Every structure is written in C-alpha cells, then in structure tokens.
Chain A
C-alpha cells in the first residue's frame, strides 16, 4: 500500500528543544517537500528536495533544517532558533517538480 507516512501525529516539546519530524514515502518519488500550515492559512514551503543528497530552502527555512540521505526519507528538524514553532507540519512528495504533490497526514507540533 503506497503512500506517505508522518509520525507522530501529535508532538509536544518544551521551548528550547530541537525536535525532528519524520517523513517516509514508498511511492518512489524523486521530489519531497516540507510545509508549515498555521490556523486559517495556506501552506508555506519550508524546504524541498529534488533528489537524494540535495535540498533547497523554501520561503520560510529559518530555524529549520533537513537531510535527504535516502530517496524514501526526508526528516525535518525544528530547531530552538525557530521563533514560533507551534504549527501543523505537512510533508509531501511528487514524481518531479511542477507536478501534483501527495501529502502525508501531518504532524501537529506544540511547543510549550
């Protein structure tokens, strides 16, 4: 059963701690993305990766970091430098850039 998995669904962290969100896909897609969604707003691109070992900053990359060591995996680290980390984080993948994206179920991060 192909798809994108994100875990956990809900995550709570104390302020000042780094936290890593996982994203795994078995769709054999080359491109992967991370978005942030705040209540009542659209999706804002954090980072994207077109191929393994390569990734690019999106519109709001400050305070975040990523890695793409495997085609299937694109973890996102929310660092303590991110001023307002509480949000809904969505991972997506696509066969290539410029085509439709498939989204995971998301992780709701709350920083206390």
Chain B
C-alpha cells in the first residue's frame, strides 16, 4: 500500500540552528498534512498542502509541497526549545485512508 517515508528519524540541534524534515512518497500524494506531537502528548495539526509547488509559512515554520506532489518538507528557522517534539507528515485521502510517516523527533539543546 501507499507508504510515506520520512527522514531523518532523529535530529538534535543547538538552539538557534535551523531544522528540516523531509517526507517522500513513491506515488503522487493527493495532499500532505503536517502534525506536531509533543513528548507524552497527542498529534496537533499544523498545516495542509494541496497544490503542486505550494509553499506556506507559519512564523518560523515553512512548509513546501513538491512540484510532482511526491515530496514535502518542513523547515524551522532558528529553533527554540518550544519546538521540541516529533513532526509527522500524513496523507488523508477521499477514500478515508490516512497514511502517516514515522516522524522526525527534534531535540533542541539550550
């Protein structure tokens, strides 16, 4: 079935450094959603991308959807300790199937 691969699995950064996580699929994605899960918490929706080449920004977070709609990225500029958590990409289809990547766990050293 559809698989969404996410890299890296873990990323350790110094506070103030940038961070990027990538999401890749072998098939065209109908959309891509990004979620953040704090340690011990539940996933919280961040953003949805639908259009080819779409770029959206939320303060220090920049989300991109590839031209071929097979990949996506989340970039955080100047990380802060509040950015700690696991970031997941996911596809939700009209048929009801939801496929999540395995996530990238970000730790930030003050």
Q: Which residues of A contact B (CB under 8 A)?
A: 31, 33, 35, 40-45, 48, 50, 56, 58-59, 90, 92, 94, 97-106
Contacts and interface: CB of A to CB of B under 8 A. Distances in A.
A107 to B, nearest CB: 10
Contact of B88 (A31, A43, A58, A99): A43
B96 A42 contact: no
Interface residues of B, number: 26
Contacts of B99: 45
B42 A98 contact: no
A50 B92 CA distance: 13
B93 A97 contact: yes
Interface of B: 1, 6, 9, 30-31, 33, 41-45, 48, 88, 90, 92-103
23 contacts: A31-B96, A33-B98, A40-B9, A40-B102, A41-B103, A42-B6, A42-B102, A42-B103, A43-B88, A43-B90, A43-B98, A43-B100, A45-B98, A48-B98, A50-B96, A56-B96, A97-B95, A98-B30, A101-B33, A101-B92, A103-B42, A105-B42, A106-B42
Nearest to A104: B42
Contacts of A97: 92-96
Given A100-B33, A104-B42, A42 B98 contact: no
Query: Across chains A and B, which 8 residue pairs bring their CB atoms closest together, nearest first?
Result: A42-B100, A42-B102, A103-B42, A100-B45, A43-B100, A97-B96, A48-B96, A98-B94
Contacts of B102: 40-42
A50 B61 CA distance: 32
A101 B94 contact: no
B45 A98 contact: no
A50 B94 CA distance: 10
B42 A100 contact: no
Nearest to B94: A98
A5 to B, nearest CB: 12
B24 to A, nearest CB: 14
Contacts of B92: 94, 97-101
